[in-house]
Structure 1
């Protein structure tokens, strides 16, 4: 997914320099990072800041009405057999409004236009993320231990894919 994508309330577009303060907050917020290995350290934040602006696969999710950055959705080829993987992070003040579900559903649908399947991984303990993935049509495919925590792999295949 490289081109901008609009939904009823949102715009998913490439990350811009002006987005970096909110994106940095995503990487360093303990609540956002609770199931993602914890806050990112400063030196890694600086490296990521240089690499994310305009990078393919990284999409700022902004509210179409006012341009407020709500979160990030990433769609990229994963190491897991070369499948397309979707991941996401949203600022806590925007949780519970359906924005993540709307954005992830749109990103998955767009990815499945060209990819045979889409996967997502979340910690088993992250019940909110698991519900979101199931709500957008991904199903449990595997469970495993990684990064000292139980992980769950979800997958959705494109219509007609094996």
Structure 2
């Protein structure tokens, strides 16, 4: 008898399947990643537009929840396995749309890693989702440029958490600037 469409042969859901780019590997978070991930949550520069550093009790809760959790991708440099940051893909996030967010350690800023990782995550998400959204503070100009560079477009502005926010969106079927020559 042929296998049913929902058999064990189905591929692993997109948020759990590792994703490779030219220089990076996006994979589930492992226990050994927690020191670098904790730095992401506590670094004032990383958290400048994310509500500030996270405190001890919240860190412990997050540490227990993030290891192997669907949607959380450790971004590691393929050549040496160094953790550079996190990219999160949340199905059914903001208003039911797939939402992408990211954080990278400051020593890895300015090398194009975030653009490469976020661009790949957006393309992967659009394989199954009709659209992808991302939100950043209006004042976070670097993040806004990054989101625009991977094909997300300004969709709306609003105030949340006492700060001006910008929602970006990219719908499936739109051009992919990540695969075009720069």
Q: The TM-score by the shorter chain falls in which range?
A: over 0.9
- Following the alignment from structure 1 to structure 2, what is the Cα–Cα distance between the partners of residues 81 and 45? 26
Gap regions ≥5 residues in structure 1: none
Note the residue ranges of structure 2 that are not aligned, 5 or more in a row. Answer: 1-14, 175-182
1:128 matched to 2:142? The reply is yes
- The runs of at least 4 aligned residues of structure 1 exceeding 4 Å deviation read none
Which structure's residues are more often strand, by fraction?
A: 1
Q: Secondary structure at the match of 2:50?
A: coil
Q: Does 1:11 align with 2:25?
A: yes
TM-score by length of 2: 0.87
Aligned residue among 87, 100, 114 for 1:100: 114
Distance 1:148 1:110 in 2: 32
Structure 2 CA distance, aligned partners of 1:72 and 1:80?
19
Equivalent position SS for 1:115:
coil
Residue of structure 2 in register with 1:159 after alignment: 173
Question: CA deviation digits over 1:35-56, x for unaligned, max 9?
Answer: 0000001100000000000000
CA distance in 1 between partners of 2:94 and 2:114 (Å): 23
- The structure that has the greater radius of gyration is 2
Cα distance in 2, alignment partners of residues 61 and 120 from structure 1: 18
SS in 1 for 2:173: coil
> 1:146: which partner in 2?
160
Q: Mark the CA change 1:36 to 1:78 in structure 2 (over 3 Å): closer, same or farther.
A: farther
**Cα distance per residue 1:60-91 (max 9 Å; x no partner):** 00000000000000000244220000000000
What corresponds to 1:27 in structure 2?
Answer: 41
Rate the CA distance shift 1:78–1:40 in 2: closer, same or farther, 3 A: farther
The number of residues matched between the two structures is 160
Aligned CA-pair RMSD: 0.9
